[in-house]
Amino acid sequence: MASITIRDIDERFKARLRVQAAHHGRSMEEEARDILRTALSTGRSRRGSLVDSIRARIEPLGGVELEIAPREAIRDPVNLDT
């Protein structure tokens, strides 16, 4: 198996990892492995755009028809020379 070294970890994160590992009855190293294993084993697919992802979540909830306000004609530019 490969090994990695992680440098410059914030002391607060290290302390939280230590507490969480103790809570689960394992070493900090095993706790870190479990966190990585869990985070990387999710079957998330990164296909499609952000718009497609949002639409997939919102579309089943239904929608509303919004009335589009009529546009006004473009105004003449302000004359600042006077």
- pLDDT values of the chain reduced to their tens digit, one per residue, 82 residues: 888 999 999 999 999 999 999 999 999 999 999 999 988 887 666 677 889 888 888 888 888 888 999 999 999 999 998 7
The residue range of the domain holding 23 is 9-42
Q: What is the pLDDT of residue 11?
A: 95
Q: Is residue 35 part of a domain?
A: yes
Q: How many domains does the chain have?
A: 1
Q: Is residue 19 part of a domain?
A: yes
**Alpha carbon separation from 14 to 18, 24, 27, 28 (Å, rounded):** 6, 15, 12, 9
Query: String of b and e for 19-45 (b: at least 16 CB within 10 Å)?
Result: eebeeeeeeeeebbeeeeeeeeeeeee
Q: What is the pLDDT of residue 70?
A: 92
Q: Is residue 25 part of a domain?
A: yes
Q: Is residue 31 part of a domain?
A: yes
Query: Which residues neighbour 16 within 8 Å (Cβ) at sequence distance 6 or greater?
Result: none
Q: Is residue 54 part of a domain?
A: no
Q: What is the pLDDT of residue 22?
A: 96
